[in-house]
Structure 1
Amino acid sequence: MTNNRLNIGLFICHLDNEYANEICKGAEYAAKELDVNLIVFPGMFLNASFNDPENEIYDYQYNSVFYYAKKENLDALIVSVGTIASFISQKSIEAFLDTFKDIPILTLESKVSGYPCLQTDSTAGLRDAIEHLIIHHNRKHICFVAGRKTNEDALERLNVYRTTMKAHNIPVTEDMIVYGDYSEYSREIVGKLLDDNPDADAIIFSNDQMAIGGYQELKSRNIRIGADISVIGFDNSPGSVTMVPPLTTVNANTPALGYRAVGKIIQDIKAGEFCSSVLDSHFVKRLSCGCSLHENTEHMPIDSFSTVSDILEYCDDSILGNIKNSFFGTIVLDQINSIWKDIIEIAILPKAKPYPKNLIVDKLMTLLSSPVTSFFSVTNIAFSFRCFSGVIIALINDPDKRSEYYRLNSHITSAIAQFLSTSLYQQEHDSKTGSWSSIYITRDTLTYGTDTAKTFSSMLAKLKDLGFAASYLYAYDEPVAIQPDGSWKTPDTLYLQAFYNPKHTAVLSGETRRIASTDIFDNEYTGFEDRFTAVIVPIFTNEQHHGLFVCNTDVDHFGHIYTTSLHLGASFKYLSLLKEQIQTKEQLVMSLSEIHEKNELLNHLSTSDELTGVNNRRGLMEKVEYLINKPANHGRKAMLLFADMDSLKIVNDKFGHNDGDFALKNIANILMTSFRASDIVGRIGGDEFVCFAFIDDLDFPKTVQARIQELSNELNETCGKPYYIEMSVGVSEFSCDPNIKIEDLLSQADSALYSNKRYKRMSVLK
Structure 2
Amino acid sequence: MVSVNQSGFYAIAVVVAGTDEEYQSSVLRGITKAAKEHQFNVSVFASFGGVLSNSQYDTGEYNIYRLPDFSRFDGAVLLTNTIGDRDVRQQIHDAVRASGIPAVTLDNNDCPEFFNVCIDNYASMKAVTAHILDVHHAKTLCFISGPEDNPEARERKRAFLDAVQAHGIAPEQYSIYQGDFRPLSGMRAAEALLRSGRALPDAIIAANDAMALEAASVLEEHDIRVPEDVIVTGFDYTYYAQHHCPSLTSVARPLCDAGYSACTLLLRVLAGEKCEKMMTLGAKPVFAESCGCVDTESLDIRRYRKATYGLIKNTRTDVSLLNRMTSALAVSESPEENIRIISGYLQEIACEQCCICLCDNWESAFLDGHAGESVEQYQIVGYSEEMSAPLIWSDGRIAERNRFKTAELFPFPPETGGHVSYFFPLHFRERCLGYYIFTNTEFPVRSILCHSLMMNISNSFENVRKLLHMNHAIRELDRLYVIDPLCGIFNRNGFIRLADQIFRHSCETHGSLMISFIDMDGLKYVNDNFGHDEGDFALRQLAAVIRDSCTEQQICARFGGDEFIMIADGMTEEDAKSFEQRFRLKLAEANKIISKPYELCASIGTFVTAVEPEMKLFSLIAQADQIMYEQKKRKTTSRYLRRN
Q: TM-score range by the shorter chain?
A: 0.5 to 0.7
Q: 1:31 to 1:172 in 2, by over 3 A?
A: farther
Partner of 2:26: 22
Partner of 2:355: 472
Please tell me whether the aligned partners of residues 118 and 278 of structure 1 are also in contact (alpha carbons under 8 angstroms).
yes
Residue identity opposite 2:435 in structure 1: L
The Cα of 1:515 is off from its aligned counterpart by 0.4
Q: 1:191 to 1:26 in 2, by over 3 A?
A: same
The Cα of 1:175 is off from its aligned counterpart by 5.2
Please tell me whether the aligned partners of residues 10 and 40 of structure 2 are also in contact (alpha carbons under 8 angstroms).
yes
Q: 1:230 to 1:56 in 2, by over 3 A?
A: same
Partner of 1:707: none
Partner of 1:256: 257
Residue identity opposite 1:495 in structure 2: S
Partner of 2:168: 169
Q: 1:548 to 1:272 in 2, by over 3 A?
A: same
| Structure 1 residue matching 2:229: 3-state secondary structure | coil
Q: Distance in 2 between matches of 1:455 and 1:179?
A: 44
Please tell me whether the aligned partners of residues 27 and 258 of structure 1 are also in contact (alpha carbons under 8 angstroms).
yes
The structure number with the bigger radius of gyration is: 2
Partner of 2:622: none
Partner of 2:278: 276
The Cα of 1:56 is off from its aligned counterpart by 4.7
Q: Distance in 2 between matches of 1:250 and 1:482?
A: 47
The Cα of 1:499 is off from its aligned counterpart by 0.8
* Structure 2, gaps ≥5 residues long: 366-373, 489-644
Q: Distance in 2 between matches of 1:579 and 1:199?
A: 58
Q: Distance in 1 between matches of 2:398 and 2:433?
A: 22
After superposition, where does 1:678-693 map in structure 2 within 5 Å? none
Residue identity opposite 2:392 in structure 1: F
| Structure 2 residue matching 1:28: 3-state secondary structure | helix
Alignment equivalent of 2:40, drawn from 36, 43, 49: 36
Partner of 2:459: 570
| Structure 2 residue matching 1:24: 3-state secondary structure | helix
**TM-score under structure 1 length normalisation:** 0.55
After superposition, where does 1:402-551 map in structure 2 within 5 Å? 413=301, 415-416=302-303, 419-420=306-307, 422-439=309-326, 442-443=329-330, 445-446=332-333, 449=334, 453=336, 455-479=338-362, 488-502=381-395, 504-508=397-401, 513-521=402-410, 523=411, 525-526=412-413, 529=416, 531-551=418-438
Alignment equivalent of 2:299, drawn from 384, 391, 394: 384
Residues 1:208 and 2:209 are matched in the alignment: yes
Partner of 1:106: 104
**TM-score under structure 2 length normalisation:** 0.65
Q: Distance in 2 between matches of 1:105 and 1:61?
A: 25
Please tell me whether the aligned partners of residues 226 and 291 of structure 1 are also in contact (alpha carbons under 8 angstroms).
no
Partner of 2:124: 125
The Cα of 1:117 is off from its aligned counterpart by 2.0
The Cα of 1:205 is off from its aligned counterpart by 0.7
Residue identity opposite 1:164 in structure 2: A
Partner of 1:149: 148
Partner of 1:627: none
Partner of 1:673: none
- More deviation in 541-550 or 59-68? 541-550
Please tell me whether the aligned partners of residues 141 and 203 of structure 2 are also in contact (alpha carbons under 8 angstroms).
yes
Deviations 1:673-708 (A, max 9, x none): xxxxxxxxxxxxxxxxxxxxxxxxxxxxxxxxxxxx
* Structure 1, gaps ≥5 residues long: 297-318, 320-382, 386-412, 599-766
Residue identity opposite 2:252 in structure 1: N
Q: Distance in 2 between matches of 1:530 and 1:18?
A: 26
Q: 1:191 to 1:569 in 2, by over 3 A?
A: closer
Q: 1:571 to 1:592 in 2, by over 3 A?
A: same
Please tell me whether the aligned partners of residues 63 and 487 of structure 1 are also in contact (alpha carbons under 8 angstroms).
no
Residues 1:227 and 2:243 are matched in the alignment: no
Deviations 1:102-151 (A, max 9, x none): 13222222223332222222122112212222222222223322223333
Partner of 2:292: 290
Work out the percentage of aligned pairs sharing the same amino acid. 18
Q: 1:420 to 1:121 in 2, by over 3 A?
A: closer
Deviations 1:247-272 (A, max 9, x none): 00012333332222222222222226
Q: Distance in 1 between matches of 2:193 and 2:81?
A: 26
| Structure 2 residue matching 1:178: 3-state secondary structure | strand
Q: 1:227 to 1:595 in 2, by over 3 A?
A: farther
The Cα of 1:417 is off from its aligned counterpart by 6.4
The Cα of 1:188 is off from its aligned counterpart by 2.8
The Cα of 1:236 is off from its aligned counterpart by 1.4
The Cα of 1:234 is off from its aligned counterpart by 0.9
Q: Distance in 2 between matches of 1:443 and 1:181?
A: 35
After superposition, where does 1:555-704 map in structure 2 within 5 Å? 555-558=442-445, 559=447, 560-581=449-470, 583-584=472-473, 587=476, 588-590=478-480, 592=482
The Cα of 1:245 is off from its aligned counterpart by 0.2
Please tell me whether the aligned partners of residues 31 and 37 of structure 1 are also in contact (alpha carbons under 8 angstroms).
yes
Residue identity opposite 2:103 in structure 1: I
Q: Distance in 1 between matches of 2:167 and 2:288?
A: 23
Q: Distance in 2 between matches of 1:441 and 1:253?
A: 42
Please tell me whether the aligned partners of residues 12 and 43 of structure 2 are also in contact (alpha carbons under 8 angstroms).
yes
User: RMSD between aligned alpha carbons?
Assistant: 3.2
Partner of 1:306: none
Deviations 1:145-189 (A, max 9, x none): 222333332222121112122222232338522211211112332
| Structure 1 residue matching 2:332: 3-state secondary structure | helix
Q: 1:246 to 1:483 in 2, by over 3 A?
A: farther
Q: Distance in 2 between matches of 1:528 and 1:433?
A: 35
Q: Distance in 2 between matches of 1:107 and 1:578?
A: 44
Q: Distance in 1 between matches of 2:30 and 2:415?
A: 22
